[in-house]
Structure 1
Amino acid sequence: MTIGFFDSGIGGVTVLAESLRRLPAEDYLYMADTLHVPYGTKSKEDVQIYVLEAVDRMIRQGIDALVVACNTATSITINELRERYSLPIIGMEPAVKPAVEMNRATGKKVLVFATPLTLQQPRYYALVSRVDEEGIVESLPLPELVHYCEALQFDRKIMGDYFRSKLASYDLNNYGIVVLGCTHYIYYEEILRELLPPHIQIVDGNVGTVRRLMAQLTRYGITADKGSGRVRFMCTGDEPEYLAKMQTALTLLQEAAVTPVSSE
């Protein structure tokens, strides 16, 4: 069995790493849409076209299940993908629901970091409206962060200055949880832990996404543990250097054994 993972760039590698940890005996195909990364600052119509074209290419490679490891792509195309294909398709959304549940007793707010396009979508507004009865969720667009990540910009001073500038107008004593609503953002978790007050928890949706993948494989009766743990990388631009970058990102995640506070 081959499980497909799709993202605009290297962000979804964080989800792939979690899947490899929980499903080590499957085979994987990871596709990055390097011709069009980042999605978060583009139009909804363009992103729809990009995602459908890339997933069509993945389907031709013979995947048995698909994880759309991108919050922006999920918010825009997940329904159309499920209508078009009969295989299990798992999307991602910012971990707002578990964050609200975890944070309710504290009386503090939840701050969601996400791309501008994710925050503009009706799917996101519906999610917040459904779970945020007490009005504790606030959203912060970080349009530059995917660019930084794709450039492998992880310098602690540069990125620390960036986050401090974005958070300058926020009284962080009022917040209990920060939600990383884009898979690219997870690479900056350790920098954020150094920057944010110690009482603030950081959550993402990776563990919950992989749990849903496992449940869907069972629901569809797809036999697991028939692969070898092989990972094959592809990108729409067919750049050898980007293929190497994705492999490096996966290796670093596995070596670091990063286990952020993830939620479903």
Structure 2
Amino acid sequence: MSGSLSGRGSLAGRTALVTGGSRGIGRAIALAFAREGANVAICHRDDTSAEKVIEELRAAGAHAIEIVADVSREDPVLAMFAEIAETFGTLDVAVSNAGILREAPLLETSAADFDAVVAVNLRGSFLVCREAARMMLARPETAPAGRIITISSDLAFLGREEMSAYSASKGGIVSLTRSLARELAPRILVNAIAPGPVDTDMTSAETMSAEALAKDLATPLARLARPEEIADLAVFLAGDGSSFVTGQCYGANGGSAMY
């Protein structure tokens, strides 16, 4: 992993990819990385708000680009990493954050619904992690290669009625993270963040039922997290302070799940 080359900040001189980086947790992580000196590529499926995020990243001093890609499909993911290689030449940190949520009773969840959630959340994480590792391991073997951070959920551990597909996909991400941490050590450190309820457009009255939102507030801290609180943890995992941490899943969840 390349060290600080210029400027100040714990990630100065490094290059990071954040999928789902145009809004919510992904946007907060991308901005936090930029403020710590990183150059940042954000990926989104087709979000008009991405242009505003790019402006914010550049205002923070980052060399920033946006890439339109559906992470559930292999060819767009391969093209994304080719563009990162062409633009930056290297990759130090990859955050697999892109995800979707669908809430429905089991008996009203079609196989297509289940497949759609798993395709983005779990298959997308697999593809992004695989290609990030491929790019990082192309460096000389004498050099540390990089950091991979996946985004799971407290529901990977708790489960939630009427959210079986989402919970299953996030549980798969935890297992994927642990397996990759063993396989890619010592050159790549792989860790997960499992947020609890976060104040984003994914957890709103438009996307979730009132009952589900009430459950999200039923934690010891009794509030939603701010996206920036998740981003602070991502900065730690991307930086030098986490040099002896791999295969872990950090529950930034307000106490909803304790493990």
User: Same fold, TM exceeding 0.5?
Assistant: no
Task: State the TM-score, normalizing by the size of structure 1.
Answer: 0.29
Q: Give the helix-richer structure, 1 or 2.
A: 1
Q: Give the strand-richer structure, 1 or 2.
A: 1
Task: State the TM-score, normalizing by the size of structure 2.
Answer: 0.30
